[in-house]
A and B are shown apart, each in its own frame.
Chain A
Amino acid sequence: SQTIHQWPATLVQPVGSPLSLECTVEGTSNPNLYWYRQAAGRGLQLLFYSVGIGQISSEVPQNLSASRPQDRQFILSSKKLLLSDSGFYLCAWSTNTEAFFGQGTRLTVV
């Protein structure tokens, strides 16, 4: 069966520090991969999606970047975190008919 792993579950980082959140998928090949951010426990904002290795599309301009070094690995990064980067980050992968989500990372920038 397919599973998705996302870590860490929680993270507290100082302003100006770098960020790396990792997401891996098991049990499927060539998935579409996504990073979402959820602010204040409500709506989901699509940040990045990827249809294959090295192929990244950005939905909104921001202080973040994404990379896909392997087929089933998706990384969210920042060189210097801002206070406004705080939020709940969700990784997801999709088939043609549904999407599956990781458990999320609660990022607090202090």
Chain B
Amino acid sequence: AQSVAQPEDQVNVAEGNPLTVKCTYSVSGNPYLFWYVQYPNRGLQFLLKYITGDNLVKGSYGFEAEFNKSQTSFHLKKPSALVSDSALYFCAVSPPVSGSARQLTFGSGTQLTVLP
């Protein structure tokens, strides 16, 4: 069975500083990996994904994530945080297509707070 771990419930960072939100996964085969962001009382918005290719993936709003197969990690990063980045972030993993319904497994979420 696949699983995703986000070890930090809360991450605080000062505006302008770099941020990292951690994610590790467990899945058979080569995973599809995703990051989503959720603002209060809203649905999840897609940020970026890793399917194959370059291990460094660039996404929306200046975010990027690095796929590390040996460490089974997919940490979300941004060089310079903005107050508006404050939100709940979810990492998700999906197994390679097997012909059945694709199922995303989500981590428990990390609340990012960027302090002015």
Which residues on B sit within 8 Å (CB–CB) of A97? 32, 49, 51
> A96–B102 Cα gap in the complex (Å)?
7
Chain A interface helix/strand/loop/mixed: strand
Which residues on B sit within 8 Å (CB–CB) of A34? 103-104
The total of chain A residues at the interface (CB under 8 A) is: 26
Given known A-B contacts A88-B41, A103-B42, A49 and B101 have beta carbons under 8 A apart: yes
The total of chain B residues at the interface (CB under 8 A) is: 25
Partner among A6, A32, A46, A98 whose Cβ is within 8 Å of the Cβ of B43: A6
Decide yes or no whether B26 CB sits under 8 A from chain A: no
- A98-B46 in contact (CB<8A): yes
Decide yes or no whether A83 CB sits under 8 A from chain B: no
- A41-B43 in contact (CB<8A): no
Q: How many A-B residue pairs have CB under 8 A?
A: 58
- B100-A104 in contact (CB<8A): no
- A104-B41 in contact (CB<8A): yes
- A32-B101 in contact (CB<8A): yes
**Quick one: which of B29-47 are within 8 Å of A by CB?**
32, 34, 36, 40-46
Decide yes or no whether A100 CB sits under 8 A from chain B: yes
Decide yes or no whether A51 CB sits under 8 A from chain B: yes
Decide yes or no whether B63 CB sits under 8 A from chain A: no
**Quick one: which of A36-67 are within 8 Å of B by CB?**
41-44, 46, 49-51, 57
How far, in Å, is A91 (CB) from chain B's closest CB?
8
Interchain residue pairs A-B with the least CB separation, the first 4: A101-B43, A101-B44, A43-B108, A44-B106
B residues touching A (Cβ–Cβ < 8 Å)? 32, 34, 36, 40-46, 49, 51, 88, 90, 92, 97, 100-104, 106-109
